[in-house]
Amino acid sequence: MTRQQVVIVILAVLVIIFGASTAYLIAFPPTAPPVTVTKTIAATVTKTVTTTETVTMTAPPTTIVTTMPPTTTVTTSVTTSVMTPTAPVAKEIHQWDGLTGGDGVVFDEIVWKFGNATGIKVVRTTLYWNDLYARVSATYKAGGELPPVLLMHTSEVPLYAGTVFEPLDDLVKELGITKDMFLETAWEGCIWNGKLYCLPWDVHLFAIYFRVDLAKQYDIPVPPPACKAYGLKCWDKPIRDRNDYLEWLRLAKEKLPPDIAPAGWTPGDLNNFWAFYGFLESDPFVGSGTEQDPKPDFTSPDAMEAFKLHQIMYEEGLGKVFTWNDLASCLCNGKAFTWYNGPWMQTTFDRLEECPYGVIPVFSKAGTWGNSHVIALTKSAFKDPETLEAVKLYLKYLYTAESNGYWGMHAGHVPVFKAALESYKSFSIHRAMFAAQAFDFGFRYLPRHPLIVQVGDILANELGALLAGQKTAEDAAKSTQEQVMEALEAFRAAKS
């Protein structure tokens, strides 16, 4: 096994796999009792890792990684007076989250610095995302005590607003945290029924990763703004829709040798779901309904064209199926020219010994689809003055240019705290491309509905069959519609 292959095996368990982005599942009580291990990271921060005996994964498995103490210093301009408690505070804050990959290491470093500045220990309980939602829901339904802090996704806001999540309007006013400090869409994603139920922490959008060296070697023009950023020949337009995407891949295929695939794909992966949504103008899950009362139509003209895109890629040899680990090896060590994936892959590629990759933003005419990590508080945050004061200090520390910027630079996600944007953009050209996608061209959230991940799993399997030539676009659309309607009917029946 080569050194790079060894690195990939290690990184495969570090990278965030759609926890970023899409592993937000409607919660059901876990079938196996949790096994909890508490790891002390430093004198001022403890991390509790909780798993269950059976974990159902929709992406490559991850493992829990801790660091003691942080390997990189988290710089901060927060003054000592701001971080010094002015009232009695709890000495410990508990937080549950799903940061089981490399981004969890970065968050460890941030809370370690917070502990050093305040003497307040942060105890993180980290689970796979589906297990996290199961535990949150089960604990709430049983009348148990939840931790003061939850790190989750915008997608869960309608599921937990007013029950698990407490409104934060009065608290943020007291702390001086205002809407104009954030990317507007991200702030609005935390609002439900007129109240603010969370604070956005980042945004994760999908873009096109590509091999810069192959673009140079085979004289392949690259869509703007990436071409200028990487000093490459420019294609005549940015990628704005599925037709642009196909046209550019066809051009790449003409120039590449037969053994290099224009695009790499992974079978049955939620990447396929994001790619499908990435080239939609409308939302086939919501259809003619609303987020909370959807009327799905996966046979609509818009949805059919997205299905056909995948069929065309198979028929014209524009895409090839690889394993996730192969694509994580800097796009199969050059055997794939592009890969559609999220910002967390930057941290994987950055750690490889040699990986000449670049990022091409996808500027959907209606706004690129995305999701966000968010910070939410439960009733436990308000149970006594000491806990509340500790939580206030924690929020003050997190929402600084330094903390949110560090998260973006080292975890890859786009920070939505505006003061952190410049440090993120200047960290690398790749980060600047993701920032352009989020801030310059805008984005929209995936449907905020508890079934969206189940819909994603259905689509991932159907699209995988398309890319393997096992189905036609019409068959995949019909099958998707039937499965989504069946799932929606079961969901509605369970609620009634």
Question: Tell me, what CATH number does 211's domain have?
Answer: 3.40.190.10
How far is Cα 154 from Cα 147, in angstroms, rounded to an integer?
Answer: 19
453 and 488 share a domain?
yes
- Bridge partners (DSSP) listed for residue 88: none
User: Which residue range(s) make up the domain with 336?
Assistant: 205-370+446-495
Indicate whether 312 belongs to any domain: yes
141 and 213 share a domain?
no
Residue 77 pLDDT: 38
Indicate whether 13 belongs to any domain: no
Burial of residue 486 (CB within 10 Å: 0-12, 13-18, 19+) is exposed
Q: Strands, DSSP E only, in 342-383?
A: 357-360, 368-371, 373-377
Residue 167 pLDDT: 98
Mean pLDDT check: name the lowest of 50-64, 276-290, 367-381, 402-416: 50-64
Indicate whether 21 belongs to any domain: no
Selection from 190, 365, 224, 350 nearest residue 282 by Cα? 365
3-state secondary structure 12-65: HCCCCCCCCCCCCCCCCCCCCCCEEEEEEEECCEEEEEEECCCCCCCCCCCCCC
pLDDT at 23 over 60: no
Q: Residue 73 — very low, low, confident or very high, per pLDDT cuts 50/70/90?
A: very low
| Per-residue model confidence as pLDDT tens digits over 83-128 | 666 778 899 999 999 998 778 889 999 999 999 999 999 999 999 8
Residue 84 pLDDT: 67
Selection from 381, 376, 336 nearest residue 355 by Cα? 336
Query: Tell me, what DSSP letter sits at residue 163?
Result: T
pLDDT at 64 over 80: no
Mean pLDDT check: name the lowest of 15-19, 400-404, 406-410, 489-493: 15-19
Indicate whether 383 belongs to any domain: no
Which residue in this structure is represented by tokens 């096109």?
208
Question: In this structure, which long-range contacts are made by residues 31-36, counting pairs with CB atoms below 8 Å and at least 24 apart in sequence?
Answer: 34/127, 34/131, 34/135, 36/125
Indicate whether 195 belongs to any domain: yes
Indicate whether 50 belongs to any domain: no
Arithmetic mean of pLDDT over the chain: 82
187 and 244 share a domain?
no
420 and 456 share a domain?
no
Indicate whether 319 belongs to any domain: yes
- What is the mean pLDDT of the segment spanning 229-234? 97
Q: Return the structure tokens found at 115.
A: 């502990």
- Bridge partners (DSSP) listed for residue 182: 417
274-305: buried (b, 16+ CB within 10 Å) or exposed (e) per residue? bbbbbbbeebbbbbeeeeeebebbbebeebbb
180 and 238 share a domain?
no
Q: Tell me the chain's radius of gyration from C-alpha atoms.
A: 22
Query: Tell me, what DSSP letter sits at residue 257?
Result: -
pLDDT at 29 over 80: no
Which residues, at least 6 apart from 406, have a Cβ–Cβ distance to it below 8 Å? 74, 75, 106, 109, 110
Spatial contact of 438 and 408, defined as CB atoms under 8 Å apart: no
Selection from 150, 123, 120, 121 nearest residue 135 by Cα? 150
pTM: 0.80
- What is the mean pLDDT of the segment spanning 187-201? 95
- What is the mean pLDDT of the segment spanning 342-361? 91
How far is Cα 115 from Cα 310, in angstroms, rounded to an integer?
Answer: 49
Indicate whether 3 belongs to any domain: no
Q: Which residue has the higher pLDDT, 249 or 292?
A: 249
- Bridge partners (DSSP) listed for residue 96: 125, 150
pLDDT at 161 over 50: yes
Expressed in percent and rounded to 5, the helix, strand and coil fractions of the chain are: 45, 15, 40
138 and 156 share a domain?
yes
Spatial contact of 318 and 246, defined as CB atoms under 8 Å apart: yes
- What is the mean pLDDT of the segment spanning 21-34? 29
Residue 85 pLDDT: 67
Mean pLDDT check: name the lowest of 45-59, 264-278, 287-301, 435-449: 45-59
Residue 355 pLDDT: 95
Q: Where are the alpha helices (DSSP H) in 220-269?
A: 226-229, 242-255
191 and 217 share a domain?
no
262 and 313 share a domain?
yes
Q: Which residue has the higher pLDDT, 195 or 134?
A: 195
Residue 375 pLDDT: 98
399 and 435 share a domain?
yes
Bridge-based pairing state of the strands 368-371 and 443-445: parallel
434-452: buried (b, 16+ CB within 10 Å) or exposed (e) per residue? bbbbbbebbbebbbbbbbb
How far is Cα 87 from Cα 108, in angstroms, rounded to an integer?
Answer: 26
pLDDT at 308 over 70: yes
276 and 349 share a domain?
yes
List the strands of the sheet with 207-211, edge to edge: 319-321, 263-265, 338-341, 207-211, 357-360
104 and 211 share a domain?
no
Q: Residue 467 — very low, low, confident or very high, per pLDDT cuts 50/70/90?
A: confident
How far is Cα 109 from Cα 402, in angstroms, rounded to an integer?
Answer: 12
| Per-residue model confidence as pLDDT tens digits over 423-450 | 999 999 999 999 988 887 778 888 888 7
Spatial contact of 80 and 117, defined as CB atoms under 8 Å apart: yes
C-alpha to C-alpha distances, 393 to 86, 92, 110, nearest whole angstrom? 10, 12, 13
pLDDT at 286 over 80: yes
The tally of domains found in the chain comes to: 2
Residue 174 pLDDT: 96
3-state secondary structure 269-303: CHHHHHHHHHCCCCCCCCECCCCCCCECCCCCHHH
Neighbours of 84 (CB within 10 A): 11
Spatial contact of 397 and 122, defined as CB atoms under 8 Å apart: no
461-474: buried (b, 16+ CB within 10 Å) or exposed (e) per residue? bbbbbbbeeebebe
405 and 485 share a domain?
no
Mean pLDDT check: name the lowest of 329-343, 370-384, 452-466: 452-466
- What is the mean pLDDT of the segment spanning 312-316? 93
pLDDT at 82 over 90: no
How far is Cα 396 from Cα 87, in angstroms, rounded to an integer?
Answer: 15
Residue 155 pLDDT: 84
Spatial contact of 481 and 299, defined as CB atoms under 8 Å apart: yes
